[in-house]
Amino acid sequence: MTTFNLRHARLRSGEQLREEVEIELEPFILGGQEYVPEPSVVRAQLSITKATTGSVFELSFRASVTGPCFRCLRDTTVEESVHAREYQATDAGGDPELVSEYVHDDSLDLSAWARDAFALQLPDKILHAPDCAGLCPVCGKDLNEEPHTHDELAADSRWAALDELRGQL
């Protein structure tokens, strides 16, 4: 877990600190599948700007994750650029919108922030190609490698009563 000690950033209102940091990224679990960041440690630009009412934190980095395609389970790598911004008010007055969940006791949790920002940047479904055909629901073969169809399957005898009703409607 990578953190940044905010006591090192002694800023007055209007001042800004820019620093290059190395952040350890943890694997993601998406749709029950594990996606591993590569590399597991990324170089990022951290910017802290002191405002009159609080602090603005900005984080920028580029990373990729490797894991299975949602449709065919083929190994897939997705690369994304991330630019995230957080605000921490000096006096939040009990308003949770003015408090960053990544700031705790003068420490900024860079690993959790980077993981969450990266996860929000990822596509809804991670595919190895936009036109991935997926796996055959009957035999399980990869339809990208072997496009095929199956003859109509014999109906399950347990559904015979419903088939008769369909014919009457």
Whole-number pLDDT of residue 145:
93
The residues with which 17 forms a beta bridge, in sequence order, are: 48
- What count of other Cβ atoms lies within 10 Å of the Cβ of residue 29? 10
Same domain, 87 and 151: no
Same domain, 20 and 98: yes
- Structural domain that includes position 157: 136-169
The residues with which 47 forms a beta bridge, in sequence order, are: 18, 58
pLDDT tens digits, 91-135: 877 787 888 999 988 899 999 999 999 999 999 899 999 999 999
Q: Is residue 147 part of a domain?
A: yes
Q: Are strands 103-104 and 28-30 parallel, antiparallel or unpaired?
A: unpaired
Q: What is the pTM of this model?
A: 0.79
Q: Is residue 28 part of a domain?
A: yes
Q: Going residue by residue through the chain (169 aa), what tens digit of pLDDT does each one get? A: 889 988 887 888 888 999 999 999 999 888 889 999 988 999 999 999 998 889 999 999 999 999 999 999 999 999 999 999 999 888 877 787 888 999 988 899 999 999 999 999 999 899 999 999 999 988 899 999 999 888 776 677 888 888 888 878 7
User: Considering its fold, how many domains does the chain have in total?
Assistant: 2
Q: How far is CA 110 from CA 4, 76, 104, in A?
A: 7, 26, 11
Same domain, 20 and 54: yes
